[in-house]
Structure 1
Amino acid sequence: MTDTYDPATDIVDRIAGLTPGSVTHATRHQREKVADATQRSYDALFDPALPDLSLGDRLLVALYACTLSNAPALATHYAERLASIDVDRAVINQIAQGSIGTQEPRLHAMLVFTRTLIESPINGDKAALERLPAAGIPTPAVVALAQLIAFLSYQIRLAAGLRALQALNATEAA
Structure 2
Amino acid sequence: METSEYIPVRQRSAREQQAAGVTIPYFHPAERDHLPVTYHLTMVKFPADVLNRLVVAARADAASKEYLRNPLDCRKGLAYRPMPRETVNFLRHTCLNRSSEKQAHIPTGYTNSYDNIISKIERKGVDVAERIRAFKVNVLHLIASTYPDLALECEEQIFHINRNHQEK
State if a TM-score over 0.5 links the two structures: no
Greater fraction of residues in helix: 1
TM-score, normalization by structure 1: 0.29
Between structure 1 and structure 2, the one with the greater Rg is: 2
Name which structure has the greater RCO, CA cutoff 8 Å, separation 6+: 1
TM-score, normalization by structure 2: 0.29
